[in-house]
Chains A and B, each alone.
Chain A
């Protein structure tokens, strides 16, 4: 559905995208995972024909993003990262406006947005600017969907949205996928990667790996352990000072570690006890997307 071949983009001297390649299939829910400033938004803008790439070519549904930009604009739905609706227009007016812009009506494609819009219905007279973050995002999605696009581009749709709304949002995306809409979504939240069929990990304008979320975690090269103790703050410091470890990253209240050589848990346990830690737990852990991301980042550097 989306084909990207060697796309590069620079802003002045800053390299925003560096030789990006990937393809998505029709009806696929594809995720671009990476921190802020990784180049996700630039890539979205190039694919939605809003920005010209410096090098390479890309197409959406067979249409070239540079040459056929007019065709692309009538088949895509785009939700920019920033809330981009009219804050002084009501929920209903916003939706109506975007329906008209795409020469359709709310009624015609109501089935697509029904589930989402029903949650907004009680507030339909409220100005969009006065909605909560989660509501704004639902309205923006409705507006991007109202013309039944073939491809949906969602740039960081869950940023600034509460946990419950985020979960709801991903459920909605799964439903839209069932309706046959291809979706490209970006997010800085690693835990959301698992909701995608395939993901690309992107950092500093480069794609580090493309695979299914499972495939990516499977490819984690080392044995991973999760360490915890009563004194989490000192624990990080002590682990980082321990020579045998390759990595030590904080994950919530635990620290994920890998060893340089063969794992030696007993020695580590004694070291930590000597350093004054109590209630020490060292248990094997399955690598998550974030572990893989950190690992790939380390390899790149």
Chain B
């Protein structure tokens, strides 16, 4: 057993590619996700077409520009320019302020503002228009504090746990899930498939080693390395993105180990049906990685999915793991609040574990 584990470590440390996937990729992926996938708005290019040019409209423009979310790229003076501006790609939105803005504003008989957003990127478009509406509303409240609307429902929103709506809270748990899945499942399935490809599996099978010994020997190094990875990601997320860990660090790591073991059983399962490393890699990619990214609620909210996909997302281990991670890191929940999700992952681990030992062939073909 220990000889097997030692041998496995030699394989990993002597293979540049393995080392890159194990240690380079997690960090790169975290940083890429961190900086690229962002639902926050910074310096979006906008254009203004102010038809009034009176003091009030100028103040509004000033307010929009100084909010920090937008960067004034162009100032238009005709309608035709708007179209051209969008086509040039420099602006994401245009704000048209109607004629006699100040007069209508003070008389309260319908001052007009039009927001035109580039919805070829629907997400950004809706965020921009929300932000602009918010700014306009605030401007209105500021200028006309005594304004009474006929029927007014005052809504006050409080954003719990993540008041600044920082997207980092969203992607760090997801990234941890992806990376652990990738490293654990893909690397084990590839390394077992490699033994088949080089023919060493033939010798291992013809030896007194039992299937569970072969599996445990293959898997143990990856448990250790994946665990180190999980810790690294949490630390980097904390240092670079100020990701908090409000709950117990120990619980967090315990859950991570459970998820790692679960991923490894999946990896073994994949390797039992893959004759070559290439097949193992493709299977891991399509059967594990893509669903993890797409259906776990990491990028697309599960609530918005069609019912069928929502059903499928229930069998995605990463879905439950992301819930656990978020609860512990962001909400500071204890085990009492995540035991259900933990039980689901535990159940999956046992299921896939037994299945993969059963499917592990004691003979060739």
Measuring CB to CB, which residues of chain A are less than 8 angstroms from any residue of chain B? 45, 48-52, 69-70, 73-74, 76, 78, 80, 82-89, 93, 96-98, 100-103, 143
Q: Within the assembled complex, what's the spacing in Å between the Cα atoms of A85 and B203?
A: 8
Interchain CB contact (< 8 A) of A88 among B3, B10, B204, B364: B10
Residue on A nearest B12 in the bound complex, by CB = A88
Interchain CB contact (< 8 A) of B11 among A69, A88, A100, A101: A88
A78 touches B198 (CB 8 A): no
B363 touches A102 (CB 8 A): no
Q: Within the assembled complex, what's the spacing in Å between the Cα atoms of A74 and B205?
A: 11
Q: Within the assembled complex, what's the spacing in Å between the Cα atoms of A86 and B203?
A: 11
Given contacts A96-B3, A101-B3, A102-B208, contact A78 B203 (CB under 8 A): yes
Chain A residues with CB below 8 A from B208, complex form = 70, 73-74, 101-103
Measuring CB to CB, which residues of chain B are less than 8 angstroms from any residue of chain A? 2-4, 6-7, 10-11, 14-15, 198-200, 202-209, 362-365
B7 touches A97 (CB 8 A): yes
A51 touches B363 (CB 8 A): yes
Chain A residues with CB below 8 A from B206, complex form = 48-50, 73, 76, 78
Chain B residues with CB below 8 A from A100, complex form = 2-4
* Contacts A/B (CB < 8 Å), 6 sampled: A45-B364, A50-B202, A78-B203, A84-B199, A97-B6, A102-B207
B363 touches A49 (CB 8 A): yes
Q: Within the assembled complex, what's the spacing in Å between the Cα atoms of A180 and B208?
A: 22
Contacts beyond the supplied A50-B206, A73-B205: 16 A-B pairs with Cβ under 8 Å: A49-B363, A50-B363, A51-B363, A51-B364, A52-B363, A69-B363, A70-B208, A76-B206, A78-B206, A84-B198, A86-B7, A93-B7, A93-B10, A97-B7, A98-B207, A100-B3
B7 touches A80 (CB 8 A): no
Interchain CB contact (< 8 A) of A84 among B6, B14, B203, B209: B203
B207 touches A101 (CB 8 A): yes
Nearest 5 Cβ contacts at the A-B interface: A100-B3, A84-B199, A74-B208, A78-B206, A50-B364
Interchain CB contact (< 8 A) of A83 among B3, B11, B199, B205: B199
Q: Within the assembled complex, what's the spacing in Å between the Cα atoms of A69 and B11?
A: 29
Residue on A nearest B1 in the bound complex, by CB = A100
A66 to chain B, nearest CB (A): 10
Chain A residues with CB below 8 A from B364, complex form = 45, 50-51
A39 to chain B, nearest CB (A): 15
Chain A residues with CB below 8 A from B199, complex form = 80, 82-84
Chain A residues with CB below 8 A from B363, complex form = 49-52, 69
Q: Within the assembled complex, what's the spacing in Å between the Cα atoms of A80 and B7?
A: 20
Interchain CB contact (< 8 A) of A87 among B198, B202, B362: B198
B365 touches A97 (CB 8 A): no
Chain A residues with CB below 8 A from B203, complex form = 78, 80, 84-85, 98, 143
Chain B residues with CB below 8 A from A51, complex form = 363-365
Chain A residues with CB below 8 A from B207, complex form = 73-74, 98, 101-102
In this complex, which of A78, A82, A86, A96 has the most chain B Cβ atoms within 10 angstroms of its Cβ? A86
Residue on A nearest B3 in the bound complex, by CB = A100
Residue on A nearest B363 in the bound complex, by CB = A50
B361 to chain A, nearest CB (A): 10
Q: Within the assembled complex, what's the spacing in Å between the Cα atoms of A89 and B204?
A: 15
Q: Within the assembled complex, what's the spacing in Å between the Cα atoms of A89 and B207?
A: 19
Chain A residues with CB below 8 A from B198, complex form = 84, 86-87
A275 to chain B, nearest CB (A): 51
Q: Within the assembled complex, what's the spacing in Å between the Cα atoms of A297 and B203?
A: 33
Chain B residues with CB below 8 A from A88, complex form = 10-11, 14-15
Given contacts A51-B365, A73-B208, A83-B199, contact A89 B10 (CB under 8 A): yes
A212 to chain B, nearest CB (A): 29
Chain B residues with CB below 8 A from A78, complex form = 202-203, 206
Residue on B nearest A88 in the bound complex, by CB = B14
Chain B residues with CB below 8 A from A103, complex form = 208
Given contacts A49-B206, A96-B3, A101-B4, contact A86 B15 (CB under 8 A): no
Chain B residues with CB below 8 A from A143, complex form = 203
Q: Within the assembled complex, what's the spacing in Å between the Cα atoms of A84 and B6?
A: 19
Q: Within the assembled complex, what's the spacing in Å between the Cα atoms of A101 and B201?
A: 13
A72 to chain B, nearest CB (A): 8
A97 touches B202 (CB 8 A): no
B7 touches A89 (CB 8 A): yes
A170 to chain B, nearest CB (A): 22
B338 to chain A, nearest CB (A): 41
